[in-house]
């Protein structure tokens, strides 16, 4: 049985794989950047086609946040190249980031998306066989997994939400704050409970709003 996707704060496994932009070693390719891996059960699937086109159009938003994007599908690279033409024709933009050809299922198994007994080839496997390969992983510069989202095949992913979470992760990595429900870049934030009032006054001499002692709200810190 599969143990399911790797949990938050676990190490993002390193791997070597063939992609549409050549062979990569993942950690070396990622370098000191943030990263997003998003996976697909099979090439030429309708929902994934729309997602890949959308992410290609949004790539500049990931770039300006210092985030590298890489896709994965359970098919060889040469099939990805044909699929990219369909994506360009139907969505207006071809993928402008590497796509892993996980034809031997190694990366999907490594990241807990398929069980160890799933076999060693994509041949003969349908999209339904690979239905659990529908995840988004956000990975920090420390090579730790910061976010995992799993989606059913019938529901397209919301990459505006992925960007929102990356904004929160990058902000909270620099400052001792948390972001509240539905937070967007520029909104007020919450001082972490681990920060004493004395220490908070040093960082926020203007004070804060506190509807409860444990809920201390301040403007978003500057970068």
CATH number at residue 100: 3.40.30.10
pLDDT for the residue 3 = 62
Catalytic machinery residues: 48
197 shares a domain with 117: no
CATH number at residue 199: 3.30.1020.10
198 shares a domain with 95: no
| pLDDT digits (tens), the chain, 223 positions | 456 789 999 999 999 999 999 999 999 999 999 999 999 999 999 999 999 999 999 999 999 999 999 999 999 999 999 999 999 999 999 999 999 999 999 999 999 999 999 999 999 999 999 999 999 999 999 999 999 999 999 999 999 999 999 999 999 999 999 999 999 999 999 999 999 999 999 999 999 999 999 999 999 998 6
114 shares a domain with 27: yes
Taking Cα atoms as reference points, which of 74, 55, 61 lies closest to residue 17? Answer: 74
With respect to residue 42, please indicate whether it lies within any of the assigned structural domains. Answer: yes
With respect to residue 181, please indicate whether it lies within any of the assigned structural domains. Answer: yes
DSSP E strand boundaries for the chain: 16-19, 22-25, 34-40, 67-73, 99-101, 135-139, 145-150, 177-178, 189-191, 209-212, 215-218
Pairing of strands 189-191, 215-218: antiparallel
Which structural domain range is residue 92 located in?
Answer: 16-157
Q: Could you tell me the CA-to-CA distances from 209 to 175, 188, 206, 212 in Å, in that order?
A: 18, 10, 10, 9
185 shares a domain with 122: no
Taking Cα atoms as reference points, which of 140, 109, 113 lies closest to residue 36? Answer: 140
With respect to residue 2, please indicate whether it lies within any of the assigned structural domains. Answer: no
Enter the tokens of residue 64. 């300006």
With respect to residue 36, please indicate whether it lies within any of the assigned structural domains. Answer: yes
Whose tokens are 């529901």? That residue is 155
84 shares a domain with 121: yes
User: Domains in the chain: how many in total?
Assistant: 2
pLDDT for the residue 222 = 86
Report the predicted TM-score, pTM, of the whole model to 2 decimal places: 0.94
């Amino acid at each position: 049985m599969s143990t399911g996707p790797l949990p938050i704060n676990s190490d993002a496994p390193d791997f070597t794989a063939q992609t549409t932009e050549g062979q990569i070693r993942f950690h070396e390719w990622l370098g000191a950047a943030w990263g997003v891996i998003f996976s697909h059960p099979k090439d030429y699937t309708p929902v994934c086609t729309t997602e890949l086109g959308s992410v290609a159009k949004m790539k500049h938003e990931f770039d300006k946040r210092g985030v590298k994007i890489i896709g994965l599908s359970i098919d060889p690279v040469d099939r990805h190249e044909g699929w990219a033409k369909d994506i360009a024709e139907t969505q207006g933009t071809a993928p402008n980031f590497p796509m892993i050809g996980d034809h031997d299922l190694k990366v999907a198994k490594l990241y807990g998306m398929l069980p160890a007994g799933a076999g060693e080839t994509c041949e003969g496997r349908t999209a339904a066989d690979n239905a659990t390969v529908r995840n988004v992983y956000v990975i920090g510069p420390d090579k730790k997994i910061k976010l995992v989202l799993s989606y059913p095949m019938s529901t397209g992913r919301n990459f505006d939400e992925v960007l929102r979470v990356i904004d929160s992760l990058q902000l909270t990595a620099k400052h001792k704050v948390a972001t509240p429900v539905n937070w967007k870049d520029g909104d007020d934030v919450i001082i972490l409970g681990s920060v004493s009032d004395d220490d908070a006054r040093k960082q926020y001499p203007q004070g804060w709003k506190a509807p409860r002692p444990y809920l201390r709200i301040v403007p978003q810190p500057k970068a």
